[in-house]
Amino acid sequence: MESVKVMSENDSELVVPVDDGALNLLVEALDFHWVSVDPDGTHHGSGEFSLHDLLLFWSGYDPAKEELIEGYDNMYEYTGGPVLTHKDVILALIDEVRRLRNDGS
């Protein structure tokens, strides 16, 4: 798997895949949108996953590592490590384009 390492906003090194399979998943996730909500609150999307869901998957996100923040009813802190953001992916793609441009000159 081809990948690019980026530093997250909290100075953690993250790996963003940039191989063809990963790029295809990114395109699919970018096309995702919510299409309906059932009366019971179930949401239905236009695809299998959103960009947010894809970034959580690539980060190795584990919902069991969410901890309730003391003093709040519905606010959680994730303790499982850094999670990729949209900014991380964009920076990784910019780095990859620059690398490819420099390799060709």
Tens digit of pLDDT for each residue in 39-77?
998 888 888 889 999 999 999 999 999 999 999 988 998
Cα–Cα distance, 53 to 73 (Å, whole number): 24
Range of the domain at 53: 3-103
| Packed helices 86-103 and 51-59: angle between N→C axes, nearest 10 degrees | 80
Give the pTM.
Answer: 0.75
Say if residues 43 and 65 touch (Cβ distance below 8 Å): no
In sequence order, the 6+-apart residues with CB closer than 8 A to the CB of 23 are none
How many structural domains compose the chain? 1
Label residue 2 by pLDDT band (50, 70, 90): confident
